Each structure stands twice: as structure tokens, then as C-alpha cells.
Amino acid sequence: RKEVEQDPGPFNVPEGATVAFNCTYSNSASQSFFWYRQDCRKEPKLLMSVYSSGNEDGRFTAQLNRASQYISLLIRDSKLSDSATYLCVVTPHTGGFKTIFGAGTRLFVKA
């Protein structure tokens, strides 16, 4: 089993749709959780940190379920500009700054 697994995608959605991505992690002692966005041929950019209480930033909501060891990202009212690859990232309890990237989920938002 991979340490971090994401929905394989790609997701093809129309503008205005709501889309949800899930990510599971295998190490129950994992400490920190993030969603990154990566545009084609660009660097990954931090989208959101993910907390147990859940957090929201505009159209984006991230949730963490420690009991089930999964993280989710919800995008409401999708825009064309949301088209990108979304990477789930987990930091284990041990490992001194080592983080583990999921394989990424590609999102295409179409007019």
C-alpha cells in the first residue's frame, strides 16, 4: 500500500460544478497535511494546510479525518482557472522534515 494515495482522476467538470478530491494516508502518526496545486510545467504551490477542525478559504474547503486517515479537498463553483493537478502531501511524525507527496489528481474545468 502506498503511503499516500489519491483519487487517480482525471476529473472533468463544467464551470460552476462542485468537485471533491480524497486522499488516504497509511501512517497513523502523521502530523501535518497539505494540499498543493501544480499548473502544467510550473512548480507546486501551497493551496491549504489541513487541520482536524477543517478549514475554508473562499471556494476551497479542506477536511482531515484522523480516525479514517483521509484528507479531502472540496472546490465549489469551479472556475476554468482551477484546472491543475492537486497534490496531497503528508508529513510523518518522524523523518526530520521529510514529506510524502501523493501522485496527484488532475482537474479539468471546462466552459
Partner 1 sequence: DTEVTQTPKHLVMGMTNKKSLKCEQHMGHRAMYWYKQKAKKPPELMFVYSYEKLSINESVPSRFSPECPNSSLLNLHLHALQPEDSALYLCASSQDQAAGYTFGSGTRLTVV
Contact residues: partner 1, CB under 8 A: 31-32, 34, 36, 41-46, 49, 87, 89, 91, 95-99, 101-104
Q: How far is the CB of 107 from partner 1 (least distance, A)?
A: 14
For partner 1, the closer of residues 6 and 78 by Cβ is: 6
Q: Which amino acid is at 44?
A: P
For partner 1, the closer of residues 50 and 109 by Cβ is: 50
Q: How far is the CB of 33 from partner 1 (least distance, A)?
A: 10
Q: Is 12 helix (H, G, I), strand (E, B) or coil?
A: strand
For the chain, the straight-line distance linking the first and the last C-alpha, in angstroms and rounded, comes to 37
Percent helix / strand / coil, the chain, rounded to 5: 5, 50, 45
Per-position b or e across 66-88, b if 16+ CB within 10 A of its CB: eeeebbbbebeebeeebbbbbbb
Q: How far is the CB of 109 from partner 1 (least distance, A)?
A: 19
For partner 1, the closer of residues 12 and 18 by Cβ is: 12
For partner 1, the closer of residues 75 and 89 by Cβ is: 89
